[in-house]
Homo-oligomer: A and B are copies of this chain.
Amino acid sequence: MNAEIISIGTELLLGHILNTNTAFLSQKLAESGIDVYNTSVVGDNPRRLVESLKEALNRSDIVITTGGLGPTVDDITIETLSKFIGKVRIKWIKNRVGTAPGLVIDHEGKVIICLPGPPRELNPMFEDDILPYLSSAPLRVRYAVDNHESWTLKTRTIKITGLAESQVNKVVKDLLELKPPTTVGIYAKLGEVDLKIMSKAKNEKIALGAIRKIEKKISARLKGYIFGYDDDTLESAVGELLISKKKTIAVAESCTGGLLSGRMTDVSESSKYFTIGIVAYSNLVKVARLGVDEKVLMKFGAVSKEVACQMASGIRILAGTDIGIGITGIAGPTGGTRNKPVGLVYIAFDMKDQAPFVREFRFKGSREEVKFQATQAALDLIRRNV
């Protein structure tokens, strides 16, 4: 059984919005063992929509359209479809979040499914109504053939930080060259590299077994750099660690402007370990609130190892926590000098009854990218030292 996705909307063709619906549907279909070989986008133009529908019905069992179901003049899907397929039995799918219902149409042995465009309407409709339908026995029987197509797909994502993509690549090169049914892909994000193991097999057990074998190899090779799996985030992994070690934490941020506090408190049990975050943007705040020594500040500058250390100790004492983190740096795009360029960030870690220490980083990228990488490095520092 295979499916194809047609996204309808001129705003997509103009590049004004990102096509997240196609990514969402593709993922869900792949997980259900339904192959997707083509996806496409057409504007709000009936003639071109009909052309795309014809091509899609020619080569795919299931055609899913997104968008164009609303009541405005731009919404052409239903009118175009009814002209194209004539009078057929339509099954309407209730929209619990928005107004425009979805539809399922049986057309000459193929199935056309029309979903609303807004992701918050599309996502629950697809998961609650369409996926169970696509997994139903009659449909599986209609299209099932004795090959990989009806197999199940399982995936496992291994999340790595502290290494560049090229470094990870070197270590797992042989695994990246594996051929189906079990393959490994590498995906580089900002301050993170993901390895995704995918396995297609007759049943779940075989697929998971194949994944486990490769996961073991990867774990052995990249041990300390792996912070989590699948839906884990670095902040959730750090949170679990803090809870299990019964440690509390407070952070003092300068260049990251609250992003570290924000990421740490995104974790829903964070009130168990996170007590206070201070965004100390001005030198005055660093001195008056965090107890940074004014002479040290003057001598070494706000962006220095010494100030980062005093910020970490200052916030730990102020908050009465086990751990204090201090971050100071130059996020850019302006403010850099020859000795202290944009991207220079100092992160200090101060734990009760231990000597504080500080690390120097030189990040590349835009202001937002420098800020994010600094929080990534800070979280990794906590993960490795708590």
CB-defined contacts of A15 to chain B, threshold 8 Å: 22-28, 30
Whether, in the assembled complex, A261 has its beta carbon less than 8 Å from a beta carbon of chain B, the answer is: yes
In the docked arrangement, what's the CA distance between A268 and B11, Å?
30
Cross-chain contact of A264 among B257, B265, B368 (Cβ < 8 A): B257
Report A270-309 residues with CB < 8 Å from chain B CB.
Answer: 270-271, 274-282, 284-285, 289
Q: Given A258-B258, A285-B275, are A19 and B22 neighbors across the interface (CB < 8 Å)?
A: yes
In the docked arrangement, what's the CA distance between A23 and B41, Å?
11
Question: From A261, which residue of chain B is reached at the shortest CB distance?
Answer: B258
CB-defined contacts of A278 to chain B, threshold 8 Å: 276-279
In the docked arrangement, what's the CA distance between A260 and B262, Å?
9
Question: From A251, which residue of chain B is reached at the shortest CB distance?
Answer: B279
A42-50, A130-138, A201-209, A214-222 - interface stretch: A42-50
In the docked arrangement, what's the CA distance between A289 and B40, Å?
55
CB-defined contacts of A280 to chain B, threshold 8 Å: 276
* Interchain Cβ contacts under 8 Å between A and B, 27 examples: A11-B185, A13-B26, A13-B36, A13-B38, A14-B26, A15-B28, A15-B30, A16-B187, A18-B19, A18-B23, A37-B45, A51-B59, A256-B262, A257-B262, A257-B264, A259-B262, A261-B261, A265-B281, A266-B367, A270-B281, A271-B282, A274-B281, A276-B285, A276-B289, A277-B277, A277-B281, A289-B318
The 7 closest A-B pairs by CB, nearest first: A257-B265, A258-B261, A15-B26, A277-B279, A258-B258, A15-B27, A40-B40
